[in-house]
Structure 1
Amino acid sequence: MTALILHHYPASPFSEKIRRALAYKQLPWKSVVVPTILPKPDVQALTGGYRKTPFLQIGADIYCDSALICDVLEHVQPEPVLYPPHLKGVARVFAQWADSTLFGAAMAYNLQPRGAAALFANLPEGMAQAFSEDRREMSAGMPRLRPPEATAAYRSYLRRIAHMAEEHDFLFGAEPCLADFAAYHPLWFTRTCVPVMADIFAATPAVLEWMDRIAALGLQRMEKFSAEDAITVAARAEPLPLGDEVFQDEHGIALGSSVQIAADSFGTEPTQGELLAATRTRYTLCRQDPRAGTVHVHFPRIGYTLRQAQA
């Protein structure tokens, strides 16, 4: 199997979701640390515009969005499972809630002034302002929770997670599943990246015990790798053959068309390329880059928009 290359940075919550899943499956992976804010020339050489973190590279195939990355990891190594057969539906629905509603409340709570000051305390002067401006641009037009509402919502969500963790070792039973990793990562940010804000867990000790069980699931099998080497890997590889899944046309856009795909909310910078596949669950674009060569960039359908490219 071609190496799994995860493009991430240490304090990225969604990256932690994938790092935990990789550890659980005991998959070896190469670590490329990406910038937290623009410019990201090495990222965009591979993705063509998408700049959210993380993304997964396998040769000349680039997989965007943590939801799709989890699907890919399950395909690469089916055991231990992220999607137990009796939980496939509920795990996906719960994970979508955790990645959006729970994450939004948690981060609005985490990054209020006390948390932000702690997060940026040891970073270069001006980094806090640059990060804030970068994320403000990425979230333009999105509704934002004010700290009081975020705190109240986060407390409620922690109580609900505690109720689940009090019943089982993991959220839906004796073994972890996708739902656990999706709920874990914004709480991990509170506990690890802004510990000054972690007093919110005081009322829900069962949540901390559950988080400890997630963290203990496996050791990271990670090897440091450079962005330049990752681009070289892509340039020397051929994209994997596409599967035989049926084309599902919801837009009246034919395969082979020049299109743009973008996230529908946070981080809406588009990626442009030739539409190679539009299956029940994902889109695939072919694009050319002077440094990375021919790459296939994959996106999940849910959370992303497909449009004909401007002539």
Structure 2
Amino acid sequence: MADLILHHYPTSPFAEKVRLLLGFKKLAWKSVIIPQIAPKPDVVALTGGYRKTPILQIGADIYCDTALICDVLEHLAPAPALYPEQGKGLARTLAQWADSTLFWTAMAYNFQPKGAADLFGNAPPALGKAFADDRKAMSVNMTRLRPLDAIAAYKSYLRRISDMLEGQPYVLGEAPTVADFSLYHPLWFTQVRTPSLAEILTHTPAVVQWMERMAAIGHGEMQKFDSASAIQVAAASTPHSLLIDSTFQDDHGIALGTQVSISAESFGPEPTEGELVAATRTHFSLRRTDERAGTVHVHFPRIGYVLKKVETPA
């Protein structure tokens, strides 16, 4: 199997989710550090437009969104399981809630003035403004919570997580599932990146203890890599998806082989265009060609993404 190449940056919470998953699965991986904000030309060479963090590259296959990356890692290393047979539907549903509602509540809380000072206080003012402008452009289709409105909600969610941990080390039992990793990364950002605001976590000691158990998993065996080399890997490879479901499921009236675009429903609306080569119950795959990366397949989960036919001019 080709190397696992994670394109990420250290302070990305969703990247922390995947780094921890790689440690959980005991998988070796290569680390490509990418910019926090646009432009990201080497990322776009692989994805065709999508620029959220992280992406997972395996040869000429590019996997977007951590929900789909979880499925790939589960296929590569089925044990220990992210989706235990008993309760796998609950684990997936809780993970989806954590990656959306909990995440955006935590981010609204974290980016109040004290948290922003933790993040950007020692940086040139232009850097903070550039970050804010970038995330505003990625949020054009979203209604964002205001920091003060997020405080009570975040406290409530932490209490609910604490309740889930009552009498057991992880939220669904004796071992971590995908739900734990999705619940962890927004809280990690509060704890590690905005320490001035981390006191909110101390009101739920069970959550803090669970976070210590999660952090102890570690990031596995990492080797530094660079984006130019990653693009060369793609150019020298032939796409070969590791996603095991393949049955065509047509919910759009769009045939395989059609030129389409795929974009996120809300955050990060930049579209990726290409030839539709898979549309299954769980994912979409596009074939596209880049002058540097060659022919790649870019994969997206169905949930959270919009598929449209590209209309050619008459």
TM-score, with length taken from structure 1: 0.98
Distance 1:296 1:270 in 2: 15
Distance 2:66 2:264 in 1: 13
- Partner residue, 1:273: 274
Q: How much has 1:148 moved relative to structure 2?
A: 1.9
Distance 2:128 2:94 in 1: 32
| Counterparts in 2 of 1:244 and 1:25: CA distance versus 1, 3 Å | closer
Q: In percent, how many aligned pairs have the same letter?
A: 62
Q: Deviations over 1:279-309 (max 9, x none)?
A: 0100000000000000000000000000001
Distance 1:136 1:245 in 2: 36
Distance 1:65 1:33 in 2: 17
Contact between 2:120 and 2:128, CA under 8 Å: does it hold in 1? yes
- Partner residue, 1:181: 181
Distance 1:287 1:219 in 2: 31
Equivalent position amino acid for 1:116 in 2: A
Distance 2:65 2:307 in 1: 15
- Partner residue, 1:22: 22
Q: How much has 1:149 moved relative to structure 2?
A: 1.5
Contact between 2:110 and 2:197, CA under 8 Å: does it hold in 1? yes
- Partner residue, 2:10: 10
Distance 2:167 2:159 in 1: 13
Equivalent position amino acid for 1:113 in 2: P
Equivalent position amino acid for 1:119 in 2: L
Structure 1 SS opposite 2:166:
helix
RMSD over aligned Cα, in angstroms? 1.1
Q: How much has 1:243 moved relative to structure 2?
A: 5.4
Equivalent position amino acid for 2:160 in 1: R
- Partner residue, 1:66: 66
Distance 1:149 1:165 in 2: 26
Q: How much has 1:219 moved relative to structure 2?
A: 4.6
Distance 2:69 2:269 in 1: 19
Contact between 1:62 and 1:296, CA under 8 Å: does it hold in 2? yes
Distance 2:74 2:262 in 1: 24
Q: How much has 1:244 moved relative to structure 2?
A: 6.6
Distance 1:243 1:296 in 2: 15
Equivalent position amino acid for 1:298 in 2: H
Task: Determine if the alignment matches structure 1 residue 126 to structure 2 residue 98.
Answer: no
TM-score, with length taken from structure 2: 0.97
Equivalent position amino acid for 1:148 in 2: L
Distance 1:78 1:167 in 2: 27
Q: How much has 1:8 moved relative to structure 2?
A: 0.5
Distance 2:245 2:144 in 1: 41
Contact between 1:26 and 1:218, CA under 8 Å: does it hold in 2? no
- Partner residue, 1:52: 52
Contact between 1:14 and 1:66, CA under 8 Å: does it hold in 2? yes
Distance 1:35 1:184 in 2: 23
Q: Deviations over 1:247-286 (max 9, x none)?
A: 0000000000000000000001000000000001000000
Structure 1 SS opposite 2:72:
helix
Contact between 1:260 and 1:306, CA under 8 Å: does it hold in 2? yes
Q: Deviations over 1:165-188 (max 9, x none)?
A: 232100010100000000000000
Contact between 1:50 and 1:269, CA under 8 Å: does it hold in 2? yes
